[in-house]
Structure 1
């Protein structure tokens, strides 16, 4: 069946929030565990929800740590967020050619809106499923199936694009095709080791895969 629906992760896939997220983690963790965490130490925290990450470190302080993280993250957002190569033009092309486009993210809606507005990508997406909209985050299939339902699409005609194994596994669990992005902050080898159906070197590589002109 021909692919007519493309679902994207947001952070590290459509927009370069890597520095923002890493700095937000370091700011928060150094607040509670001074000088214990370096940049490389927080890379495993990219992907899971904040509650999963901070809950695994300190269940009693989890809510408080999430608040500290989000406050810093919002304050620094427009300073540290940048765009990835070919993303805007690729998404624009897909939108103009009538593909159904959605975002499936583990972020809360307010932060998602900030990122989409800053990069002017907000005009292209019909559906955005955030952490606020689901009971189970990726890699559970619920967020993807919810997006597909809202778009009127079946898994067989969709592809999930992301930079993290949570994205690839969620796509597989939901029955979609999957594409990993080689610009994952965790590295090309990391994302390819989770065996997505396709590996993108830049976002425009998705165009021939889905038959866009």
Structure 2
């Protein structure tokens, strides 16, 4: 890391190692590796010997160190079977980790993972611990040529997020993590907050070692990029209080106070959103009664492993067909209606996939508090045809997505939808 670099640069992204930092999976990894080498090589490996072999993916470790090469593929399959089956007994979610990630997401920080695990092993753990929805980018050992301590994984994550090294921090539990972070010129911290970690003493000194997640969160939020969004949240709450108060108020002086409160909320929102004052005032004038979140419904349609998107006339970018929920329609009816009107297809609703709070995702600031419902639909008729608000209709592969209308959906959200294509039994995502 460059010496003397200022530490008051606004933090925009937080990058994590996985094993030993976000998930206490190391004991299970040790157990699975030891079982494999015992079964196929008739030899015992200590945890220290295994840690010394870490760097490559699980497949790479077994291929590189198993003497019984004739059965190496069988040994790899055994590892993943043991690793997957062992989560229910040996790996449990850590509430403090989820609370930390919730706070960082609420502060509108971008989150990423750089792990030496294979993509398959990471997905097993991330789904078991319900960690996938939090992250904007995940770089696994399968995605790099040079694993940690080389900085390739971190540099890939930074490029994907569009963040400069000085705008990010990285935290991990091993000496390789610290070396990789410093080589990427990212502020780098050590994590000793889970029961098991790779390095009790770091070969190179991190900026600081954290033994509890609360202290780490405090440091990040104090230097994070979330202050404008916290102001926006407060403005929305003021607007909700004012709107509800104006609905039930009887005293003329209290009415004046609630109207003044609404004026304050309008001024704050004008500062922190792209909407002008007139647009905000008109939107609020149409909102009466007890204040509640607005509901946006998106239809998720797959065909030949491609996802249906429509091109919005408003901004020329692409989105899942959908829009505000209309009075008198159920959520599934809205999804069916929006797909028909915006894409031309007749569909039937199959399953609710996700209910997401827009403020926890990387959308542009908005005056509204919005819940987004994603509903899986199946084509039963019709053909591709744009509508009043859409100019084009297309199906896209996960690795070939067009420019997205981020006001409506983010790239991360589309990747989450593809996870359901791979695993239809996956539970509903919340928040």
- TM-score of the two chains, using structure 1 as the length reference: 0.86
Give the Cα separation in 2 of the matches to 1:132 and 1:122: 17
Aligned to 1:15: 23
- For residue 78 of structure 2, the aligned residue among 55, 68, 77 is 68
Matches within 5 A, 1:79-90: 79-84=89-94, 86-90=96-100
* 1:35 positional shift: 5.3
| Structure 2: stretches of 5+ with no match in the other structure | 1-8, 225-431
Aligned to 2:211: 201
- 1:83 partner SS: coil
- TM-score of the two chains, using structure 2 as the length reference: 0.45
- 2:86 partner SS: helix
- For residue 171 of structure 2, the aligned residue among 142, 150, 161 is 161
| Structure 1: stretches of 5+ with no match in the other structure | none
Tell which has more relative contact order, 1 or 2 (C-alpha 8 A, sep 6+).
1
Change (3 A) 1:114 1:52: closer
What is the aligned residue count?
211
Aligned to 2:126: 116
Aligned to 1:185: 197
Deviations 1:139-171 (A, max 9, x none): 111111111111110111111111111211111
* 1:97 positional shift: 0.5
* 1:44 positional shift: 3.4
Deviations 1:115-144 (A, max 9, x none): 222222222111111122222211111111
Are residue 34 (structure 1) and residue 46 (structure 2) matched? no
Aligned to 1:2: 10
RMSD: 2.4
Give the Cα separation in 1 of the matches to 2:146 and 2:51: 22
Contact 1:2/1:210, CA 8 A, preserved across alignment: no
Give the Cα separation in 2 of the matches to 1:33 and 1:63: 10
Deviations 1:48-82 (A, max 9, x none): 53355445534662943433322321232333212
Aligned to 1:133: 143
Q: Relative to structure 2, which stretch is displaced further, 107-116 or 63-72?
A: 63-72
- 2:76 partner SS: helix
Are residue 105 (structure 1) and residue 109 (structure 2) matched? no
Change (3 A) 1:137 1:187: closer
Contact 1:8/1:104, CA 8 A, preserved across alignment: yes
Give the Cα separation in 2 of the matches to 1:209 and 1:37: 39
Deviations 1:6-31 (A, max 9, x none): 10111111011022111111111111
Give the Cα separation in 2 of the matches to 1:16 and 1:2: 30
